[in-house]
Structure 1
Amino acid sequence: MNKILITGASGQLGKSVIKHLLNKVEAKNLAVLVRNEEKASDLKPLGIDVRIGDYTNYESLLTAFKGIDKLYFISGSDFEGRSKQHENVVNAAKEVGVKHVVYTSFMRKDESSASPISFVVADHIETEIWLQESGMNYTFLRHNLYMDMLPLFMGENVLKTGVIYQPAGNGKVAFTLREDMAEVASHILTSKGHENKTYDITSDKAYSYNDIASILTDITGKTIAYSSPSVEEFNKTMTEAGVPEMYISLFAGFAQAMEQGELDHCNSVMEQLIGRKATSMADYLREVYS
Structure 2
Amino acid sequence: MKGNTLITGVTGNLGRLVLNNLLEEYSSDQQLSILVRDINKATDFKNIGITVYVGDYNNYDSLVSAFKNIDNLYFVSGNDIVNRTKQHENVIGAAKEAGVKHVVYTSFIRENETETSPIARIAHSHLKTENWLKNSGIDYTILKHTIYADFIPMFLGENFLETGIAYLPAGEGKNSFVTRNDMAEVGAKILTSLEAHKNKEYNIVNENTISFRDIVSQISEITGKPIQYISPTQLEYIETLTKSGVPKDYIGMFTGFAEAFKQEEFIKTGTTIQSLIGRKPTSINEFLTQVYQK
* TM-score in terms of structure 1 length: 0.98
Which letter maps to 1:115?
S
Deviation at 1:58, TM superposition (A): 0.9
Which SS does the other structure have where 2:197 is aligned?
Answer: coil
How far apart are the structure 2 equivalents of 1:45 and 1:257?
Answer: 43
2:287 alignment partner in structure 1: 284
1:173 alignment partner in structure 2: 175
Pick the aligned partner of 2:253 from 247, 250, 254: 250
1:266 alignment partner in structure 2: 269
Pick the aligned partner of 2:122 from 111, 120, 127: 120
1:108 counterpart = 2:110: yes
How far apart are the structure 2 equivalents of 1:172 and 1:249?
Answer: 21
How far apart are the structure 1 equivalents of 2:121 and 2:21?
Answer: 31
Contact 1:103 1:138 in 2 (8 A): yes
1:211 alignment partner in structure 2: 214
Cα deviation, 1:74-99, whole Å, max 9, x if unaligned, reads: 01100111111101100100001100
Tell me, which stretches of 5 or more residues in structure 1 are unaligned?
none
Which letter maps to 2:236?
E
Which SS does the other structure have where 2:25 is aligned?
Answer: coil
Which letter maps to 2:3?
N
1:21 counterpart = 2:26: no
Which letter maps to 1:200?
N
Deviation at 1:30, TM superposition (A): 0.4
Which SS does the other structure have where 2:290 is aligned?
Answer: helix
Which letter maps to 2:257?
F
Deviation at 1:281, TM superposition (A): 0.9
Tell me, which stretches of 5 or more residues in structure 2 are unaligned?
none
Deviation at 1:162, TM superposition (A): 1.2
Deviation at 1:62, TM superposition (A): 0.8
2:101 alignment partner in structure 1: 99
Deviation at 1:65, TM superposition (A): 0.5
How far apart are the structure 2 equivalents of 1:119 and 1:25?
Answer: 39
How far apart are the structure 1 equivalents of 2:15 and 2:97?
Answer: 24
How far apart are the structure 2 equivalents of 1:272 and 1:225?
Answer: 37
Q: Aligned-residue CA RMSD in angstroms?
A: 0.9
How far apart are the structure 2 equivalents of 1:250 and 1:73?
Answer: 23
Deviation at 1:186, TM superposition (A): 0.1
- Where do residues 29-68 of structure 1 align in structure 2 (5 Å cutoff)? 29-68=31-70
Deviation at 1:24, TM superposition (A): 2.3
How far apart are the structure 2 equivalents of 1:22 and 1:215?
Answer: 35
How far apart are the structure 2 equivalents of 1:8 and 1:209?
Answer: 29
1:71 alignment partner in structure 2: 73
Cα deviation, 1:164-194, whole Å, max 9, x if unaligned, reads: 1111110011111001000000000011310
Which SS does the other structure have where 1:134 is aligned?
Answer: coil
Cα deviation, 1:32-77, whole Å, max 9, x if unaligned, reads: 0000112222111111001111001111101110111110000110
Deviation at 1:203, TM superposition (A): 1.0
* TM-score in terms of structure 2 length: 0.97
Contact 1:166 1:229 in 2 (8 A): yes
1:225 alignment partner in structure 2: 228
1:3 counterpart = 2:27: no
Deviation at 1:159, TM superposition (A): 0.7
Cα deviation, 1:145-178, whole Å, max 9, x if unaligned, reads: 1111111100111110111111111001111100
Pick the aligned partner of 1:145 from 131, 140, 147: 147
Contact 1:24 1:190 in 2 (8 A): no
Cα deviation, 1:185-236, whole Å, max 9, x if unaligned, reads: 0000011310110001111111111111110111000011210000000000
Identity of aligned residues (%): 50
Deviation at 1:25, TM superposition (A): 2.6
Tell me the number of residue pairs that the alignment of Structure 1 and Structure 2 aligns. Answer: 290
Contact 1:172 1:261 in 2 (8 A): yes
How far apart are the structure 2 equivalents of 1:117 and 1:248?
Answer: 13
